[in-house]
Amino acid sequence: MHKRLLKISLAFFTICFLFSCSLLNTNVQGSSQFTEVTVTIKANVTAKVFISNLYKGYTPLSIKLGIGKYPLRLEANGYITFETVLEVKINGPTTFDFNLQPVSSTSTSTTSSGKKTKLKVTADIPCGVYSNGIKIGVTPLDIEIRPGTYIIKVVPMDKSYQPKEEKINISAGQVIELKFTFKTSPTTYNVTIQTNVPAQVILNGSVVGNTPLTLNLAAGNYNIGLNPLTPGFQPQQNSIIVSSNQVFNFTLQAISYNISINTNIPCTVIINNSKMGRTPLNINLAPGTYTVTLNPEVAGYNSQTQTITVTQPNQVFNFTLQQTTGNIVFNIPNDAKVFINNQIINFKSSQPITLAPGTYTIRIDYHGLTITKTITIVSGQTITISLALDILIN
């Protein structure tokens, strides 16, 4: 009798155990019946399909599933993982279309209707991350957490910075991104750089533009290089101190070469209509072309105007000024002898002889007759002398 009761008890226990296992399996993996239904899973992007945590392929995917509920997960690069529960019914829908959201750059975004949430924490300096007082990692942090209310605290590893915290309330299916900033942006000022000629501006070794130029600079010391864009000027290096909105004016110096101007007689030198001195003259001029006028300081010479081009240092320009002249005409027989300042000359009657301005002694010898006369030659005049030493000035 006891053996019979024992057998009945064992049979009953076995049946209960198998029934419990069946229920447990249904709760973990999703219920199913023998009847299968072909379902199609689609998404707005090509995504990996996981059913009951098993990879099944890519969307769009057609697959046979038994009647029941199945955990479904869709994954795609650049998109937030989508999770839901797929329910397969005999007379229910057979096509399931899901919309995956791209990864958001905003601080908070809803990702799906599932129960998991994600928390992302970044900072501009390395920090430890704490949730409700418990350390959960270091920045940058990207984890899944349960929905709820949390106090997220970031503690900089550089102890010269103070910790910061933020209280968040995460709902199911949200991704929250917290960004902490510890470094303060420096105050900048408007700095204008001006030059007397256009110039390229080099700031601390980097080309930043051409003058006139306005820059936004933080307070501090800077090295400014100026390369003239106009020929004939020298580059310049400067240091500036920025402490407010400021304007810096710089004058680039013209390149100058020392040149010499020489003449055969003393002259006043006028360059481009400006009196510069008297010869011999040494002067500094920038490269270029100039008009030089030479006015003689000695009577009997003509002024002279020339163009010079300065291209290199130590150039020498030599000029010879020409004397002014007058004429003398002898209306005497050709066989007479004529002396000018005791020098016999060849002449022809009534033909002019050119002489520089000045005073001369004239002597005429003709058949034992000697006649002497002193005359003055003036520029542009003609003197005519006859045998009777009648002088005619024209």
Q: Are 226 and 199 in contact (CB under 8 A)?
A: yes
195 CB neighbour count, 10 Å cutoff: 23
Mean local confidence (pLDDT), 189-206 = 95
Query: pLDDT band at 2, cuts 50/70/90?
Result: very low
Tell me the two tokens of residue 110.
């809803």
Write down the pLDDT at residue 337: 92
User: What's the CATH fold of domain 108-180?
Assistant: Immunoglobulin-like (2.60.40)
The residue-averaged pLDDT of 344-355 equals 90
Which CATH number does 30-103 carry? Answer: 2.60.40.1120
How many beta carbons lie within 10 A of that of residue 269, not counting itself? 20
- Could you tell me the CATH superfamily of domain 257-319? Immunoglobulins (2.60.40.10)
- Between 154 and 391, residue with greater pLDDT: 154
Q: What is the distance between the alpha carbons of residues 293 and 291, in angstroms, rounded to a whole number?
A: 7
Contact (Cβ atoms closer than 8 angstroms) between residue 212 and residue 229: no
Tokens describing residue 54? 């098993």
What is d(CA 135, CA 154) in angstroms, rounded to the nearest whole number? 9
pTM of the shown model: 0.36
In CATH terms, is domain 188-250 a member of 2.60.40.10? Answer: yes
Is-same-fold flag (188-250; 326-393)? yes
Q: How many CA atoms lie within 13 A of 256 on its CB side?
A: 8
**Res. 299: pLDDT tops 90:** no
User: What is the pLDDT, as a whole number, of residue 29?
Assistant: 39
The token duo for 6 is 């024992």
User: pLDDT at position 25, please?
Assistant: 39
Q: What are phi and psi of 342, to 5 degrees?
A: 65, 10
- Kindly indicate the confidence band of residue 298, based on its pLDDT and cuts at 50, 70 and 90: confident
Using CA atoms, how far apart are residues 69 and 85, in angstroms rounded to an integer?
A: 7
270, 276 Cβ separation under 8 angstroms: yes
Q: How much is the pLDDT for 112? A: 44
Place of tokens 């010269």: 160
pLDDT of residue 267 exceeding 80 = yes
pLDDT for the residue 105: 33
pLDDT band at 357 (very low <50, low <70, confident <90, very high): confident
pLDDT value of position 393: 52
Report residue 112 as tokens.
């799906």
- Within the chain, where are the H helices? 2-29
pLDDT of 258 over the 70 cut: yes
Domain ranges within the chain, ordered by starting residue: 30-103, 108-180, 188-250, 257-319, 326-393
Distance CA 248, CA 245 (A): 10
> Span 323-345, mean pLDDT?
90
Range 302-308 contact pairs with CB under 8 angstroms and sequence separation of 24 or more: 308/259
End-to-end distance of the chain based on CA atoms, in angstroms?
Answer: 180
- Reported for 201-205, long-range contacts at CB under 8 A and 24+ positions apart, including other chains, are 201/225, 201/226, 202/226, 202/227
107 pLDDT above the threshold of 50: no
Q: What is the mean pLDDT of the chain?
A: 84
Chain segment 152-172, per-residue pLDDT in tens: 999 999 988 899 999 998 888
Reported confidence tier of residue 103, pLDDT bands at 50, 70, 90: low
CATH number given to 326-393: 2.60.40.1120
Query: In this model, does residue 385 exceed pLDDT 60?
Result: yes
- The answer, yes or no, to whether residue 106 has pLDDT greater than 60, is no
pLDDT of residue 368: 86
Q: For the residues 333-356, what does the mean pLDDT come to?
A: 91
Q: What is the pLDDT of residues 7-58, one digit of tens each?
A: 455 455 544 444 444 433 333 334 444 688 999 999 999 999 999 888 999 9
